[in-house]
Amino acid sequence: MGNGGMCGTQMPRASGPALRHAGTPSKVIFLDRCVGGCLFTGSASHDAQTDKVAIAGTTEGAVYAFDEFKNFAGLSGAAADAEWTAIVDCTRKIYSYYDTVVTDVKPASGTYHRAVLSGVGSQLIQGADSTLLGISDVECTGPIHNMTAFTFADAHRAFANNAARYVKDLCVTVTHEAGHSFGLEHQFEFLDGTSACSDPMSYDTGECDPPFRFFRNKPAKCGGFELTPCFCSAAANSHVKLTGVFGAATIPPTIAPPIAEVTTPVPDAQLGANIIVSAGHDRGVERVALFINGHEWTQQPGLEFVRGGGQPNPGFHTFPIPARLPDSIVDIQVRVYDDLGNATDSPVVTAIKGAACADASTCATGQQCEAGRCFWDQPAGVVGDDCTYPEFCLSGQCSNTTFAGDTAVCTQACIVGSPDACPDGLECTAAGNGAICFVATDGGGCCSASSTTPWGPLVIGLCLVGYLARRRRVTP
């Protein structure tokens, strides 16, 4: 399916040997332009090698004829080569994150997924109207081996106003229909409430229109033009599903490197009220983290995918100067992440806030001062270690409770009642609007005493002292 049209793939069918081809799913995706025309025969099972199709709506024994792929101007052959090559390149880019081979040369042997780009829906599905832009099959239990999916290229011209739009829409549809055959459902919105329009498994509802739609590493609710229950799982994650089918790519994806740059301040300047960074990626930016003198101070989510367009590439992020940042020389760097967790660091920009530090007395708690810079050592505290400032802890959280008085330990958020919420010796303790891991007050670690014995409070107290003595570490 493409911009403005629909996919005719039905909801997942009950799995059965009639649809599935025995053996390991092939990693080959063959884009077929039907040179000289194609003939397919309706069948009870899929077999791309012998031109058999079993898509819902086809009739066993019926013959289906398709002409050669035509470009936006309606021309085939050499005149269509440029647009065809662009479609192949786009499809290859989308699937380059997985251990697949996208080719427009029919394999001489072995199984493959066959993606036909030709014709209109009524040539395959009786009664189909002009809004049907593609069709495939899908099963919850896994990929349908050696099957043929259809992208109705001729139908796309009604929804495209130029050749570039035509190519882009066909790329979306062919990746979408192939995705169905690999076990992917339609996606409507991600669990964070944002539209799934940046994923090829989403119908284009106009929420966004990025240059490329990639299979996202984000769980999503299902649906086409409206929200519907997922059939195969509670939530769909197209990237995880495809990685499970094919494995991760063995060579780097064919995509431009991300953009990561500190634009304000310029080198050697005084800090103003904000730090401004430029961040962009063909795949999109999931989040941007700000580092100053080696420490991550804050981060921001990637910019929204705008209606009728994509995410700005590059886009600009404004970080207010952290209130706790002391005066000193500052080395500023940003780290740009995509939705897969891949990170790209910007070049370091050195500026100054106020004046260079002379000693640690003017720095933040726990910081040192060297070469005019205030900085923390790399965090070393695990959950349960004593701490006097959050940056000592690997979790970035240093908290105390009424039970322990002024004692503070490195902690982490937890869920009360969860059996593995905290490491041994700690328990999940309510704190503010949530809960944190803290020293166990009863039944945790070494401490166990009956409330009916006069020795109970003493035993607990001694255990707590012993626990803290074991866990106490010297902090800088």
DSSP string, 410-451: E--B--TT-TTSS-TTEEEEEETTEEEEEE-SSSSTT----T
Q: Are residues 294 and 188 in the same domain?
A: no
Q: Which residues of 341-377 are buried (b: 16+ CB within 10 A; e: fewer)?
A: eeebebeebebbbeebbeebebbbebbebeeebbbbe
Residue 20 inside a domain? The answer is: yes
> Which token pair is 64?
């289906």
Residue 121 inside a domain? The answer is: yes
Distances (CA, A) of 74 to 133, 158, 159, 371, 394: 16, 12, 14, 68, 61
Residue 455 pLDDT exceeds 90? no
At 405 the pLDDT is 54
Mean pLDDT of 405-431: 80
Q: Are residues 192 and 318 in the same domain?
A: no
Q: Read off the CATH number of the domain in which 324 is found.
A: 2.60.40.10
* C-alpha span between 200 and 176 (Å, rounded): 5
Residue 62 inside a domain? The answer is: yes
At 460 the pLDDT is 29
Q: What SS3 string covers 218-248?
A: CCEEEECCCEECCCCCCCECHHHHHHHHHCE
At 475 the pLDDT is 37
At 422 the pLDDT is 85
Q: What is the dihedral of CA 217, 223, 227, 232, to 10 degrees?
A: -70
Q: What letter does residue 309 receive in the DSSP assignment?
A: S
Radius of gyration of the chain (CA): 29
* C-alpha span between 39 and 67 (Å, rounded): 9
At 217 the pLDDT is 96
Q: Are residues 12 and 92 in the same domain?
A: yes
Q: What letter does residue 117 receive in the DSSP assignment?
A: E
* C-alpha span between 28 and 324 (Å, rounded): 54
In 3D space, the residue among 418, 423, 417, 420 whose CA is nearest the CA of residue 409 turns out to be: 423
User: Quick check: helix, strand or coil at residue 270?
Assistant: strand
Residue 436 pLDDT exceeds 60? yes
Residue 360 inside a domain? The answer is: no
* C-alpha span between 392 and 398 (Å, rounded): 8
- Residue at token pair 């593609």: 134
Residue 377 inside a domain? The answer is: no
Residue 442 pLDDT exceeds 60? no
At 406 the pLDDT is 65
Per-residue pLDDT band for 20 (boundaries 50, 70, 90) equals low
Distances (CA, A) of 167 to 121, 173, 386: 18, 10, 60
Final residue of a structural domain among 246, 280, 311: 246
Sheet of 28-32: strand order equals: 6-7, 132-135, 148-151, 113-117, 28-32, 101-103
* C-alpha span between 136 and 56 (Å, rounded): 8
Mean pLDDT of 182-198: 93
- Residue at token pair 């005719």: 8
Residue 91 inside a domain? The answer is: yes
Q: Are residues 49 and 138 in the same domain?
A: yes
Final residue of a structural domain among 192, 211, 246: 246
Residue 372 pLDDT exceeds 50? yes
Per-residue pLDDT band for 428 (boundaries 50, 70, 90) equals confident
Q: Are residues 318 and 208 in the same domain?
A: no
Q: Are residues 53 and 169 in the same domain?
A: yes
Q: Are residues 153 and 241 in the same domain?
A: yes
Mean pLDDT of 377-393: 90
Residue 83 pLDDT exceeds 90? yes
Digit-coded pLDDT (tens) for 331-362? 999 999 999 999 999 999 999 999 999 999 99
* C-alpha span between 319 and 262 (Å, rounded): 11
Mean pLDDT of 121-135: 92
* C-alpha span between 96 and 249 (Å, rounded): 6
Q: Where is average pLDDT lowest: 7-21, 67-81, 260-274, 424-438?
A: 7-21
The domain containing residue 399 runs over which residues? 390-471
Percent of the chain with pLDDT over 70: 87
Final residue of a structural domain among 203, 218, 246: 246
Which residues lie closer than 8 Å to 413 by C-beta, 6 or more apart?
397, 434, 435, 436
Mean pLDDT of 63-69: 97
Q: Are residues 120 and 224 in the same domain?
A: yes
Beta pairing partners, 295: 292
* C-alpha span between 401 and 409 (Å, rounded): 9
Distances (CA, A) of 222 to 85, 185, 192, 198, 235: 32, 7, 13, 14, 7
Q: Are residues 195 and 314 in the same domain?
A: no
Per-residue pLDDT band for 326 (boundaries 50, 70, 90) equals very high
Q: Are residues 137 and 286 in the same domain?
A: no
Residue 404 pLDDT exceeds 60? no
> Which token pair is 469?
């003595």
Per-residue pLDDT band for 418 (boundaries 50, 70, 90) equals confident
User: Quick check: helix, strand or coil at residue 301?
Assistant: strand
Q: Are residues 38 and 154 in the same domain?
A: yes
Rounded to 5°, the CA angle 175-177-182 comes to 90
Residue 79 inside a domain? The answer is: yes
In 3D space, the residue among 200, 204, 67 whose CA is nearest the CA of residue 124 turns out to be: 67
Mean pLDDT of 281-302: 96
At 232 the pLDDT is 87
Mean pLDDT of 59-76: 97
At 459 the pLDDT is 28
Residue 456 pLDDT exceeds 80? no
Overall domain count for the chain: 3
Residue 47 pLDDT exceeds 80? yes
Residue 94 inside a domain? The answer is: yes
At 19 the pLDDT is 53
Rounded to 5°, the CA angle 368-369-370 comes to 120
At 14 the pLDDT is 53
Mean pLDDT of 98-116: 95
Residue 17 pLDDT exceeds 60? no
Mean pLDDT score of the chain: 86
Q: Are residues 236 and 265 in the same domain?
A: no
